[in-house]
Structures are given as structure tokens and as C-alpha cells.
Structure 1
Amino acid sequence: MHDDCDFCRIVAGDAAAARVHDGDRVIAFLDRRPATTGHTLVVPKQHGSELFEMDDRTTADVFRAVGTVKTAVDHVLDPIGVSVFYTTGSLVGTVEHAHVHLVPRFEDDDVTLSLLRDRLEDEDGERLGSRLRDV
């Protein structure tokens, strides 16, 4: 546990959170500053800023918990869909403890997760795809 980490304090039970899932390696709790009703953070209990640098079992458990929470959110809130996202690196924000956002979506919510799109040319796609497969 890192004493200066809000999520570690929640994991340890030293800080309050509205928990919606509590497993061996993962907890999920409602975001205190939700984008929509039911906005949930799915968090590994192990402290680390990068989910994909943790052991494979923890990473898999996080995404299994995302599915479990999504099922519960669907049942309780009946959203029209959900947005799930995870960010790494300096774009993470103010909490340096890996976490996945699950945001229920509703008609006329104010959530915007837009991506500016470009076009992938066939030749560029083949070249990049080959490089990725080689790794």
C-alpha cells in the first residue's frame, strides 16, 4: 500500500467508497465525481500505475470484474450502453493507481469520448501490422 494513494486507502478500508465488487485482486467502486449515474472504477488491489505491467492474472481479473460490473449496471440502471476506457502514461490524470472506467451511457448524457479520425492507407496498415506481428 502507498500511503499517499487514495485508491490504496480505499483498498485497505482506510477511506470510504461505495464498493460494488470486491474480489481477491480487484475492487470496484462508484466514482466520487461521476460522469453519469453508475460511473464505476475497477481497480487492482495491488498498487501500480500501469495495469499491463502487473502479472497476467491481475490484469485478467480486472477485465473480468469489468464484465461483472457491466452486467450489474445493465440490470440495475438499464443504460443504452456503456463506455469502458483505460489510459496509461502521463494522460492518466491525478491518480497514479491503475484503474478502468466503466461509464453507463444514457440518452442526452453529456459524456463525450470522441476521437479525431484519420484514414489508414492499405500500404501503411500492412507495414505497421507486420511490425506489430513481429514483436
Structure 2
Amino acid sequence: MEGGCPFCAIAAGERAVAELYRTEDAVSFLDENPAATGHALVVPTTHCEELLTAADAIRDPVLDAVGEVADRLDAVLDPDGFSTFYTSGPLVGTVDHAHVHVVPRETDDGIGLSLDRRELDDEHAAALAERVRRVD
């Protein structure tokens, strides 16, 4: 456990939360400041700040748990859909422990998760795709 990390304390069972699901490698619980009913977080039980580039043994169980939690929330709440998101680095917010948000959604719930979009430049796309394919 990382000293002072609230999600490590939750993973260790030292902090009370509304726990939804637990495996040896991941735990899910209701967000204390939910955007919607059933808004859950899924975190690795081992302290990890960056999930997407973490070792498979850390990343894969968390992503599997995201699917399991969504299935269970779907069975209980029957939402219109889900928004699932993950943010890393200095953009993550106040807890430097990787966490995935699973948010059950309703058609008119007023939740806004917007992206400023622009048209993909074919030449830039081809060059970037080639660079990514070359990574070992």
C-alpha cells in the first residue's frame, strides 16, 4: 500500500465504501460523488498510477472487472447505456491511483462528456499509424 493513498486503503479493506465487486487484483465501489446512480470506480488492488501502460498482470484484471461491474449494474439498473472513462497523468484529479469510471447512463441524464472534434487529416493519420505500427 502506498502511504496515504485512499484507494490503497479501500483495496486493503481499511476504509469503508459501498463495495460492488472484488477479486484479488481489482476492487469496485460506488463513487462518493456520483454523476449518476450506480457511478462506480474500478481500481487495481496494487498501487498503480498508470493503468494503460501497466503490466498485463495489473491492467487486465482491472479491465475484466470493468466489464463485470457493467454487467452487474446493467442487470440491476437497466440503464440506457454506459460511459466508461479513464484519465491518467496530471489530468487525473486528486487521487494518483489508477481508476476507471463506470457510469450508468439514461437518455436525458444531463451528463456531459464531450470531446472537441475536428476532421482527421489523411496524411497525418497515415504517418501516425505507420509510426505506431513500428513500435515493438
TM-score bucket (shorter structure): over 0.9
Deviations 1:45-72 (A, max 9, x none): 0002111343202201111100000100
Please tell me the residue identity of whatever aligns with 2:91: L
* Aligned length, in residue pairs: 135
What is residue 112 of structure 1 aligned with on the other side?
A: 112
What is residue 96 of structure 2 aligned with on the other side?
A: 96
Please tell me the residue identity of whatever aligns with 1:71: D
Please tell me the residue identity of whatever aligns with 1:68: E
> Structure 2: 5+ residue runs without aligned partners?
none
* TM-score, scaled to structure 2: 0.95
- 2-side partners of 1:54 and 1:111: how far apart? 30
- 2-side partners of 1:22 and 1:60: how far apart? 14
What is residue 83 of structure 2 aligned with on the other side?
A: 83
Change (3 A) 1:94 1:22: same
State the 1:110 CA deviation.
2.2
- 2-side partners of 1:59 and 1:120: how far apart? 30
What is residue 31 of structure 1 aligned with on the other side?
A: 31
* TM-score, scaled to structure 1: 0.96
State the 1:107 CA deviation.
2.7
> Structure 1: 5+ residue runs without aligned partners?
none
